[in-house]
Each structure stands twice: as C-alpha cells, then as structure tokens.
C-alpha cells in the first residue's frame, strides 16, 4: 500500500469540506435573481471541487486498500466541524461533538 495515496485522499477530504463550506456561504446570502443562487462563484467552485475530488478518489481507490477509504472519508466530518467554526463562526455544541464521535466510532468499528 502506498501512503502517498492515503494522504492524497485525506487532502481530498479536506477540500471536500471546503466545498461544503462554500455551499453554506452561498446559501446564507440573499440574491436578487433566483438563477444567481446556483450560478455564482461559490457554488460553481464547490461543484468543481466535488467533481475533481470524486475523480481523484476513484483513482486513489485503485491504489489503496478498500477498508481505509471509509475511515479517511470520516475525516470530512471533523474538517467541516472545524472549518464551520473558523470560517462561518458557528458554535460547536456537545451534540455536534457527540454526533461526530458516534460517526467516527461506527466507521472504525465497522472497518475493524
């Protein structure tokens, strides 16, 4: 197994979280034209990132053992939690922390 591809997948997970933050920022704005809700730079960039990460992860799955993929993907929940606090100034509640821990624990138990 090549660790390089694991780190690439982890980086892709981070950028996937960034794209989710971009979509949330776009959803929080008011637009004069309904079409601009979908055709603005945040939404377009977010979906370009999603598509690029999808292609990258598909290739990485050919090089990484399949059991590591779901574990790496759970990092997205942690990244979104942290980025939403730093960028969107959202509060990190006990419920969010417990929810993240349950998701991560479930994936780890399933993988092991």
pLDDT of residue 1: 62
pLDDT of residue 74: 85
Report pLDDT digits (tens) over 29-64: 999 998 999 999 999 999 999 999 999 999 999 999
Dist CA 66 CA 60 (whole Å): 10
Task: Supply the pTM of this predicted model.
Answer: 0.87
pLDDT tens by residue, 69-109: 888 888 899 999 999 999 999 999 999 999 999 988 888 88
- Asked whether 50 and 19 are in contact (CB, 8 A), the reply is yes
Residue 1 vs residue 68, higher pLDDT: 68
pLDDT value, residue 111: 74
Name the packing angle between helices 41-60 and 3-27 (round to 10°): 160
User: What's the whole-number average pLDDT of the chain?
Assistant: 92
The domain locations on the chain are 3-111
What pLDDT shows up at residue 87? 95
Q: What is the mean pLDDT of residues 5-23?
A: 95
Q: Which helix (H) or strand (E) holds 28?
A: none
**Contact predicate 86/49, CB 8 Å:** no
SS3 state at 70: helix
Determine contact, residues 37/28, Cβ cutoff 8 Å: no
């Amino acid at each position: 197994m090549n660790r390089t591809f694991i780190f690439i997948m982890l980086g892709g997970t981070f950028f996937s979280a960034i794209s989710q933050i971009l979509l949330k920022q776009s959803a929080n704005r008011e637009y004069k034209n309904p079409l601009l809700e979908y055709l603005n730079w945040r939404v377009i960039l977010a979906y370009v990132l999603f598509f690029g990460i999808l292609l990258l992860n598909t290739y990485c799955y050919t090089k990484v053992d399949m059991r590591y993929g779901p574990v790496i993907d759970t990092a997205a929940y942690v990244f979104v939690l942290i980025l939403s606090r730093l960028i969107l100034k959202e509060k990190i509640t006990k419920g969010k922390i417990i929810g993240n821990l349950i998701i991560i624990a479930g994936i780890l138990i399933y993988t092991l």
